[in-house]
Amino acid sequence: MEPSRTTSLRALLNRALLLAVAALALRLLYGAFLAVSAAANASSLYPPAAVTAAARRTHVQADVPSPEAWRTRQWRRAVDYHAALLADHLAQGILAPPSRAVCLGGAQEALAMRELGVAAALAVQKKPSLPLVVAGDDRRLPFKPNSVDFVFAGRALDSAKRPADLAAEAARILKPHAHLVLLTSSAADAYSLRSLQALLPSLRLLRSRHINAHDSASTLRELLFQKLHADDTPTSSTAGTSPSNNCSIGEHKLQLLTQAEPLIQEEPLKPWITLKRNINNIKYLPALADISFKRRYVYVDVGARSYGSSIGGWFRKHYPKQNHTFQVYAIEADPAFHAEYSVKKGVTLLPYAAWVKNETLKFEINGDPGKEDEAKANGRGMGRIRPAVGNKMSGEVRSVPAFDFAEWLRQTVTEQDYVVMKMDVEGTEFELIPRMFDTGAICLVDELFLECHYNRWQKCCPGERSPKYENTYEECLDLFSSLRESGVLVHQWW
């Protein structure tokens, strides 16, 4: 071969080699730029904490077809936001490239994971969009139990119609010791946070911190959970499983009680006026805390009388429900009121007397000083029960079935439910409340409106006390105080 031709070929090969080296260098520089960008964004998500050097990992471009909706600038910003957020978990080893990861929010989250190198990441939505999104719903995620390494819930629980179902499914599919990360705007107060934790009894909360939201104009709470091994799972304090009479006074309850209206310490001379006016002072629980993270919403009216007496006339009109639908139980022994409940939707009537055990009792109808107007409106006096032996009865008397109210409550609701109760049982509260303490049923009540009956001054007869009740106002005050000391948000009702 001629020397000139050999020199030209060698120069051509050298040029090709230099171009290849330059291309490789550009690829590495681009990858480094993506990693540094993700780390910088993650730093802004968690002010003022710094992102560790391990978070500066190179993005891996996901080989994912991109529908038209996925190519918009807004969609891309959402991917970048989640990539920056998840890079921190990747750096800490909570998420790893080989992880089988599931996103409960959207395809942006799954794509962000894939670009971080988590090749098996999938999102779950009602409509599938392969290869990123598979079909599933809140009640059934398409994965086997204990099969997933990492679940990113995003803000799925905030928007879920049944957050308890979705939380249970997320816990079901996680492997022991695997992690769940969720974002929420609803767990800003201690009560709401405790409610959310109660939805995940098999998981332990490892970390809670505030991060910037996608729009940067607001903040979210990021919660990191770890699933416990079956041998380490604590027993959830639910109905039917808590035999103790010791209610746990958590921070979430203490904060509420500090904001409650004060109890009326001095016995009122005109109780029918004072107690009625006290309604304006009541601090309702939904006005103090977020009640979003509950399995069900339940109102129990013990001593309901007619539907309009308190269910229709007060609870459904005035109680702040935060747009939740409540399941209502009306407990009323007087058969004169039973017929109207058959046409009331969403109300379950228990036609019995609330008592401390299952038996048949005598039920008396007579007047209650201070409630003449209500008796006149209902065309019926107030009803009360007494054991088969005891004080002599003077009004209309009949036999009625009674049931163990505390045990019924333990079998009907759980700590995951939001339970509001009104109790007006004509003096029987002095038996029912201690029984609820003994069984632990009192722990299941979130808010209680209690009318305490005592030998109060009579409206009809100035200077005379009611002969109908033997208890004093001081005993009523002790009853209210014991409830609040046990963490129950109780209000003096009338």
pLDDT tens digits for range 319-334:
999 999 999 999 999 9
Statement: residue 50 has pLDDT above 60: no
Assign 389 a pLDDT band (cuts: 50, 70, 90).
very low
For residue 375, the model assigns a pLDDT of 45
- Neighbouring C-beta atoms of residue 144, cutoff 10 Å: 9
For residue 327, the model assigns a pLDDT of 97
> Mean pLDDT, to the nearest integer, of 422-434?
95
Q: Name the percent of the chain lying above pLDDT 90.
A: 57
The letter for the amino acid at 126 is K
> Mean pLDDT, to the nearest integer, of 173-190?
93
> Mean pLDDT, to the nearest integer, of 395-404?
87
Ramachandran assignment for 44, one of left (phi > 0), alpha (psi -120 to 50 degrees), beta (any other): alpha
**Total-model pTM:** 0.79
Assign 21 a pLDDT band (cuts: 50, 70, 90).
low
Q: Name the percent of the chain lying above pLDDT 70.
A: 76
377 in Cβ contact with 358 (< 8 Å): no
Statement: residue 359 has pLDDT above 80: yes
359 in Cβ contact with 330 (< 8 Å): no
For residue 16, the model assigns a pLDDT of 59
Statement: residue 52 has pLDDT above 70: no
> Mean pLDDT, to the nearest integer, of 75-93?
93
Buried b (16+ CB within 10 A) or exposed e, 204-226: eeeeeeebbebeeeeebbbbbbb
> Mean pLDDT, to the nearest integer, of 209-230?
89
Cα separation, 466 vs 435, whole angstroms: 26
Pairing of strands 359-366, 382-386: antiparallel
Statement: residue 410 has pLDDT above 60: yes
For residue 74, the model assigns a pLDDT of 87
Statement: residue 57 has pLDDT above 70: no
For residue 311, the model assigns a pLDDT of 97
Mean pLDDT, the chain, as a whole number? 82
For residue 385, the model assigns a pLDDT of 76
Cα separation, 452 vs 330, whole angstroms: 19
For residue 14, the model assigns a pLDDT of 64
Report the length, in residues, of the chain.
Answer: 494
For residue 372, the model assigns a pLDDT of 47
For residue 63, the model assigns a pLDDT of 53
**Range with the poorest average pLDDT among 137-141, 148-152, 356-360, 415-419:** 137-141
For residue 199, the model assigns a pLDDT of 95
103 in Cβ contact with 124 (< 8 Å): yes
Statement: residue 305 has pLDDT above 90: yes
First and final C-alpha spacing in the chain: 113
Q: Which of 403, 391, 330, 340 is nearest to 366 (CA)?
A: 391
**Range with the poorest average pLDDT among 76-85, 263-272, 384-393, 425-434:** 384-393
Q: Choose between 129 and 4: higher pLDDT.
A: 129
> Mean pLDDT, to the nearest integer, of 373-398?
57
Assign 69 a pLDDT band (cuts: 50, 70, 90).
low
Would you state the torsion angle of the CA atoms of residues 477, 479, 480, 486, taken in this order, to the nearest 10 degrees?
140
370: three-class secondary structure by DSSP? coil
332 in Cβ contact with 338 (< 8 Å): yes
**Range with the poorest average pLDDT among 14-18, 98-102, 317-321:** 14-18
